[in-house]
Amino acid sequence: MDNTNILVVDDDRDIVNALKIHLTREGYQVFCAYDGAEALQVLDKERVHCILLDIMMPQMDGFSAILKIREHQNIPILVMSAKSEESDKILGLSIGADDYITKPFQYKEVLARVKSQLRRYMQLGGIHNTISNEIRIGRLCFDFAAHILTADGEPIKLTSTETKILELLMRNPGRIFSAEEIYSNVWKEPLAYNGEKTVMVHIRRIREKIEINPGEPEYLKVVGGIGYKFEAK
């Protein structure tokens, strides 16, 4: 894992130090921060490939930090929290976290999840493809520069809005986007009245164009109660 950088963010310095020891033993370079605002400062200065992020912190909490990070970066974010309620997990995942680890945790589990997220990130448009203009997932290929989608080599006609939605999802395979997050990214404004229905209709139309069986989608999937994701094949 040479040149792979992990940012650990937690106001509990004992947890930060312990994670740093375990991650360093695995060959990672580790940066440390003790609240969300400090984490953003690190991200401004250093190249980071994965973030371990606590939720309950002073200055800026983890949820606020995730929203700020997702404005510019799609690096994996693993939330660490003693808050085990289902609603907190759903909120974290819906605003951009990739995984949720409940404290107290086993360090072996944390390491396994970090490795899993990094593997997907590197394979699907991450470390080695941050400026790539093309992504291939299964039978689909999206040329972002030309705004052309093909399936099995055949071009698929998309509207401008459909193209923007699909590009957002395909650039972040496996990540769950809420309808509100999709709307704000594509329409560049807060979620409007009936905005969730608008997103749902566009998702359905995209499915009809890219899926062999839209009723049982292979790629564009609904995550019940949370949002939508493009399945990483």
Q: What is the pLDDT of residues 134-184, one digit of tens each?
A: 788 889 998 877 788 999 889 999 988 999 999 899 988 888 999 999 998
Three-state secondary structure of the chain: CCCCEEEEECCCHHHHHHHHHHHHHCCCEEEEECCHHHHHHHHHHCCCCEEEEECCCCCCCHHHHHHHHCCCCCCCEEEEECCCCHHHHHHHHHCCCCEEEECCCCHHHHHHHHHHHHHHHHHCCCCCCCCCCEEEECCEEEECCCCEEEECCEEECCCHHHHHHHHHHHCCCCCCECHHHHHHHHHCCCCCCCHHHHHHHHHHHHHHHHCCCCCCCCCEEEECCCEEEECCC
Domain spans of the chain?
Answer: 5-123, 134-230
pLDDT at residue 160, as a whole number: 86
Average pLDDT across the chain, whole number: 87
Q: Kindly tell me if the per-residue pLDDT of 125 is higher than 60.
A: no
Query: Could you tell me the pLDDT band of residue 123, with boundaries at 50, 70 and 90?
Result: low
5-123 and 134-230 have identical folds: no
In degrees and rounded to multiples of 5, residue 169 shows phi and psi of -75, -40
> The domain 134-230: what is its CATH number?
1.10.10.10
Mean pLDDT of 102-113: 91
pLDDT at residue 54, as a whole number: 93
Q: Kindly tell me if the per-residue pLDDT of 3 is higher than 80.
A: no
Q: Which CATH class is domain 5-123?
A: alpha beta
Length of the chain: 233
Mean pLDDT of 12-28: 95
Specify the pTM: 0.58
